[in-house]
Chain A
Amino acid sequence: MKVTIQTKNNIVYITIQGSIDSNTAGELQSHILEKLGSFNRVIMDLTAVDFLSSAGLRVLLMLYRQLSTNGGKVLLVNVSDEICDIMSMTGFINFFELYGSIDEAEKQFI
């Protein structure tokens, strides 16, 4: 897994490549927490994520909770059909906003 985190116009952009499993989720979580600071608007690009397990869902849950208490939110971009299925099965889908592109997600923050 490879993760890139950039901040622009008060939005934190998280781009992830590869697999989010119980081997990589901890590293992802600490990277995010380290960079998040007091920012509360996050766009997470999952275009290049080929696998996500419950460990990945736990990272999403952590981020959701952290941002909610801070009045913010995370928008997910390009979630694959397979990952969408996992989010549906677990009910996570009801609590996240999914967008087809970064542009579309950015508009929600304007």
Chain B
Amino acid sequence: MKAESKFQIFDAVPDSLEPIRDFIAAFATANNIERKKIFKLSLAVDEIATNIMNYGYPLAGIDDGTIQVSIGYQDKQLKVVLEDHAMPFNPIEKGMPTPEDLMKPVEDRPIGGLGIFLARQSVDLFDYEYREGKNRNIFVVAID
């Protein structure tokens, strides 16, 4: 497979979630990535994009925000980067649920808080940086 990359800018609205997942799936499928890995990568991106739309931009008082989605394949790694101008938010600093939390009966769980956990668990590497006024959420999946 040759190295290539693509990017597209989406409005930061819930209606963009499916097109963002489709954009990632189309690129990954074209590069023969297996279905299960595509699903997990799409899930990770969907969860973080949802946070940007529902919290990042509203908290920054911005109602016409965008999310740039870049995807590239190189050196047996599929990498997605989300860039936005919303409120700085580092998902890595947010506490992850403990194994004890995950064993709690469903009825005792706080609603929510699972999105970032799922995002981080679903990719081989998750990274975050804030640079030049932009949040950059980075997702890497290793391809055998």
Task: Please give the residue numbers on chain A whose beta carbons come within 8 Å of chain B beta carbons, in ascending order.
Answer: 19, 21-23, 51, 53-55, 57-58, 61-62, 64-65, 68, 81-82, 85-86, 89-92, 94-95
Which of A53, A61, A64, A68 is within 8 Å of B46, CB to CB? Answer: A53
Asked if A92 and B18 make an inter-chain contact with CB atoms under 8 angstroms apart, the answer reads no
B42 within 8 Å of A (CB atoms): yes
Which of A21, A51, A64, A89 is within 8 Å of B118, CB to CB? Answer: A89
Instruction: State the Cβ distance, A5 to closest chain B Cβ, in Å.
Output: 22
Asked if A53 and B115 make an inter-chain contact with CB atoms under 8 angstroms apart, the answer reads yes
Q: Chain A residue with minimal CB distance to B106?
A: A95
Q: How large is the interface on B (under 10, 10 to 19, 20 to 34, 35 or more residues)?
A: 20 to 34
Asked if A57 and B114 make an inter-chain contact with CB atoms under 8 angstroms apart, the answer reads yes
Asked if B111 and A82 make an inter-chain contact with CB atoms under 8 angstroms apart, the answer reads no
A-B complex: 4 closest residue pairs judged by Cβ atoms: A23-B14, A91-B102, A95-B106, A54-B115
Instruction: State the Cβ distance, A92 to closest chain B Cβ, in Å.
Output: 7
Asked if B106 and A21 make an inter-chain contact with CB atoms under 8 angstroms apart, the answer reads no
Which residues of B (71-95) have their CB < 8 Å from a CB of A?
Answer: none
Asked if B14 and A53 make an inter-chain contact with CB atoms under 8 angstroms apart, the answer reads no
Q: Which residues of the partner chain A approach B114 to less than 8 Å between Cβ atoms? A: 54, 57-58, 90
Q: How far is the CA of A82 from the CA of B118 in the complex (A)?
A: 12
Q: Which residues of the partner chain B approach A86 to less than 8 Å between Cβ atoms? A: 43, 118
Interface string of B1-40 (1 = CB under 8 A from A): 0000000000000110110010000000000000110011
Q: How far is the CA of A62 from the CA of B21 in the complex (A)?
A: 25
Q: Which residues of the partner chain A approach B46 to less than 8 Å between Cβ atoms? A: 21-22, 51, 53
Asked if A64 and B43 make an inter-chain contact with CB atoms under 8 angstroms apart, the answer reads no
Q: Which residues of the partner chain A approach B18 to less than 8 Å between Cβ atoms? A: 19, 21, 23
Q: Which residues of the partner chain A approach B36 to less than 8 Å between Cβ atoms? A: 81-82, 85
Q: Which residues of the partner chain B approach A54 to less than 8 Å between Cβ atoms? A: 47, 112, 114-115, 118
Instruction: State the Cβ distance, A55 to closest chain B Cβ, in Å.
Output: 7
Given contacts A53-B115, A82-B40, A86-B43, A91 and B107 within 8 Å (CB-CB): no
